[in-house]
Amino acid sequence: KAKVLTDWNHFNCKFLPDELVKVNNDIAFWESKRLQSFAGQVGKVFAATTQDGKRMRNGTSRQSTRYYVEFSNGEVGGFDSMNLTLI
């Protein structure tokens, strides 16, 4: 079960806290309609999920990372990294 991490600085991370990202226009079809509604919007990364809530990497194994983005209207969405682009 994943846990939320709000402060990280691992050099292999695709995104870091407070970075601006844009939700891709072609967000994955398996994501919810609500997350798909954010396509093309820009927001700020503020959290990510990790396996232990302490590290972005689990030894040498890769893990799926979901980044949480806050938009200007205060809404929050959790997106797989492949659905986001750094601005």
For residue 42, give the 3-state DSSP assignment: strand
**3-class secondary structure, 5:** strand
CA 13 – CA 35 distance, rounded (Å)? 22
Q: Is the whole-model pTM more than 0.75?
A: yes
* 59's tokens: 């030894």
Question: How much is the pLDDT for 5?
Answer: 82
CA separation for the pair 25, 74 (Å, rounded): 20
In sequence order, the β-bridge partners of residue 61 are 58
pLDDT digits (tens, 9 = 90+) for 32-85: 999 999 999 999 999 988 766 666 655 555 556 789 999 999 999 999 888 999
